[in-house]
Amino acid sequence: MALSPVLGKLVSKRVVLASASPRRQEILTNVGLRFEVVPSWFKETLEKSSFAAPYEYAVETAKQKALEVANRMHVKHLRTPDIVIGADTIVSVDEQILEKPVDKQDAYRMLSRLSGKEHSVFTGVVIIHCSSKDNQLETEITDFYEETKVKFSDLSEELLWEYIHSGEPMDKAGGYGIQALGGMLVEYVHGDFLNVVGFPLNHFCKKLAELYYPPLKHTIQHIKHDSIPSVDTFESLSDGESESSSFKEHKGASKLDSPSGVIYNSENSSGVRTDSVIPLENQNGVSDNATKVPSKILDLMDGFRASKALFVASKLKIFDHLKKKSPQKAADIANEVGTSVCGTERLLDACAALGLLEKTPQGYRNTDSTNTYLASDGEFSLHGYIIHSNDHLWPLFTHLESAVKEGSRQNHRAFGKKTEDLFNDYYQSQEVKQRFMAAMHSIAHLTARDVATAFDLSEFKTACDLGGCTGALAHELMRIYPNMKVTVFDLPEAIANTSCFQPSEQCTAPVTFVSGDFFTDDLPEADLYILSRVLHDWPDEKIHVLLKKISTACKPGSALLVAESVLDEQKTHPPRVVLQSLSMTEGKQRSGSEYKQLLEKYGFTNTQIKITGNLLDAVLCFK
C-alpha cells in the first residue's frame, strides 16, 4: 500500500464497515482495505433540531450506526471486531438537512430545492476501536466530518422527472448520485468529490495517520499533517513509538492500538529512532507488525480464490437470481440454484466481502455494478467472458508451469486436445461455440463505443469488420455513424450463430453478415477495414497473410482500424494484458510502436494510437 501505508496498519485487524452503502464499500475496497460489511440496524431518526450544526447530526448518526454494529457483534455474535467504521452522508441547504428520499415526490422536493443553488454535503465518519474486557465491550471513538460544496444548474421540470424516473435518486443523500447520472446536474464541486459520494477517503487516511503515527517529539516540525503523509514520512515514523507518540499512550493508555504487545527501542541518546522492533503477539495471537505485511503480495496470493468465487457465482447465475428478486437469504438462493445452504452462504459472503453483493439483515442483493456487469442480461454484461474464463482459461492457467517450461499452449493437458488450430476447438461443439461467441460478444459490446469513437470515422461510407463475430462493434459503428454501412466477415460457423446476439431494438439499418475465412477468401470491399482482437492471437506468418490481403484490398485513402489492448513501450503495462500473454497463444501482445512498425510494413501510414482506458485501445492507419 505504497500510496497510503497507513492502511497497512489495518491489515491484521478485523475491520468492519457498518454500512450498507455500496459506494462506501467500493471506495474502501478500491484502496485495498480488507473489511467485513455489517450494515447497521440503527434507524436514522435523531431529532435534527437538537443539533446546532448539520455536521453534528451526521457525525452523531455515524456514531450510532457504528456503535450499534460493535455492540451487536460483541453481544450477539461474540465476535468483537477490532475496528468499526461508520459513516453518514447528508445534504444541507437553506438550513435544512436532506437525507435519502422516501419516495419520488420526496426526491422531487429535494432536487427542486437544490436546483440552481449551492449546497453542502457533509459526511460524518466514526472510527471505533473495540476491545473486550471481562466480557464488556470497550470502545475508543474517533470522529470527524468533511464538507464539500456542490452547485446545481437550474433544473427544468422535464429533466428533474426524467432523472427521478431513472431510479437513481432513491438511495442517495439529497436525492442524487454525483458519480453517475446526477453528475450531469452539477455545475461545480468545491472540496472532496468522494465525500459527496459517501466517504471522505483523504480525510479518513489523515485521521488514521494521526491515530497511528502521531508526531514524534523531536521530529514534529518536519511532519506535515495537511495532506496524506508521504511514504517517506511514514518510513521515518516506524512502529516504534516514543512515550508521547503511540496511539496507545496518546489516547490515554488504551489497549486498542497495534503497538500493544510490541516492545520498541524508541529513541537513542541523540533522539534518533533506532527502529528496532521486537514483535510479540497481541491478544488475538496476531503479531502486530502491520507495516511490514506485504499486502499486495497477499492480495496476489488470494487472487485465485477471488476469481474462482466470481466464476462460480456467475456460473450458478446467482447474480441473475438476485437481479430478479432481492434481497434473498442464502437458503432461498440455495434452493433456487440447487446448491447446499452452507456452501451457498459461504459463497455469498465471499461475494459480499469482494464488494459484489450487499449483505443486509434481510438477505443479499446485487450492487449496481453487479447488475450492470455480472447479471447475464446486464447492459454491459461480462457474463460470457467470465464463463469463458472459468471453463477455458482457468484450466489452461492451471498448467501455467508446464506452459512456461515448454513455451506452448496447454490445450492437450487442459482439454486432451491438440492446439493445431485455436478456432477448431472453439467451433467443434455447439456449446463451446456459443460460450466462445458469448465471451467475444461481452468484450466487444463493452468496448464498442470507445473503439468506435476513438477517432472520427464519419468520412468512411463502408466498413468491414474482419472476424467481427456477433456484430457488436458493427452495430455501434452504424449507430454512431448513420451513413456508414458495415459488413461483418467471419467464419460460417460463427455467422450461423449470430442471431441471439442481435440487439432487441433495431434502431439502425441492419449489419450485413458475410461468411468466409479472412486468410483464404476474398475480402468484401470497404473504405475501412477493422481487425478487433485478431492480431494478438495469430503467429507472424498468419498475420503476414492477413495484412497483405487487407493492404491489397485497400484503395488509397482507405484505412485500417485495429482494436487491441496496446502495451506500454516497456511491455509491462497494463498488467491485465501482460498476463493475457501467459495463455501462450502463438500470437503476442504488442506495444504502440510495434503496431506502428507492423502496419508500416504493409504500406499503412499516418498511424494514430488512442488509449481508450477501456479493455481495448484503437490504432488507425491509412493506405
Residue 325: CB minimum distance to ligand LJZPGDOY, A: 21
Q: Does 100 bind ligand LJZPGDOY (CB under 6 A)?
A: yes
* Residue in the structure block whose three cell numbers are 511532519: 223
The size of the interface with ligand LJZPGDOY (CB under 6 A), counted in residues, is 24
> Which of these segments, 133-141, 178-186, 261-269, 553-561, binds ligand LJZPGDOY (CB under 6 A)?
178-186
Q: Does 365 bind ligand LJZPGDOY (CB under 6 A)?
A: no
In terms of CB distance, is 19 or 238 closer to ligand LJZPGDOY?
19
Q: Is 88 assigned a catalytic role?
A: yes
Q: What secondary structure letter does DSSP report for 116?
A: T
Q: Three cell numbers at 608?
A: 494514430
Q: Does 359 bind ligand LJZPGDOY (CB under 6 A)?
A: no
b/e 465-475 (16+ beta carbons within 10 angstroms → b):
bbbbbbbbbbb
> Which of these segments, 168-176, 232-240, 378-386, 536-544, binds ligand LJZPGDOY (CB under 6 A)?
168-176
Q: Does 19 bind ligand LJZPGDOY (CB under 6 A)?
A: yes
The single residue among 36, 68, 82, 88 that binds ligand LJZPGDOY, judged by CB under 6 A, is: 88
Sheet hosting strand 485-490, strand order edge to edge: 512-515, 485-490, 462-466, 528-532, 559-564, 617-622, 605-610
Closest CA to 386 of 323, 435, 320: 435
Residue 141: CB minimum distance to ligand LJZPGDOY, A: 17
Residues 6+ apart with CB under 8 A from 575: none
Q: Is 520 helix (H, G, I), strand (E, B) or coil?
A: coil
> Which of these segments, 13-21, 202-210, 436-444, 557-565, binds ligand LJZPGDOY (CB under 6 A)?
13-21
Kindly write down the DSSP assignment for every residue of 167-183, as one continuous string. TGGGGSGGG--TTTGGG
Q: Does 179 bind ligand LJZPGDOY (CB under 6 A)?
A: yes
Residue 98: CB minimum distance to ligand LJZPGDOY, A: 10
In terms of CB distance, is 69 or 618 closer to ligand LJZPGDOY?
69
In terms of CB distance, is 359 or 549 closer to ligand LJZPGDOY?
359
Residue 67: CB minimum distance to ligand LJZPGDOY, A: 13
Q: How many helices (H) and strands (E) does the chain have?
A: 24, 18
Is the link from the previous residue into 327 a cis peptide, with omega within 30 of 0? yes
> Which of these segments, 102-110, 165-173, 297-305, 534-542, binds ligand LJZPGDOY (CB under 6 A)?
165-173
Pairing, β 528-532 against β 559-564: parallel
User: Inter-axis angle of helices 341-353 and 330-337, to 10 degrees?
Assistant: 110
Q: What secondary structure letter does DSSP report for 115?
A: T
In terms of CB distance, is 53 or 220 closer to ligand LJZPGDOY?
53
Distances (CA, A) of 60 to 12, 173, 198, 525, 568: 28, 16, 16, 69, 49
The single residue among 5, 39, 384, 587 that binds ligand LJZPGDOY, judged by CB under 6 A, is: 39
The CA distance from 387 to 381, in Å, is 11
User: Between residue 197 and residue 256, which ones bind ligand LJZPGDOY under the rule CB under 6 A?
Assistant: 197-198
> Which of these segments, 81-89, 106-114, 266-274, 469-477, binds ligand LJZPGDOY (CB under 6 A)?
81-89
Kindly write down the DSSP assignment for every residue of 553-567, as one continuous string. HPPTT-EEEEEEPPB
Q: By the criterion CB under 6 A, which residues form the site for ligand LJZPGDOY?
A: 19-21, 23-24, 39-40, 44, 65, 87-89, 100, 171-173, 176-179, 182, 196-198
Catalytic positions, please? 88
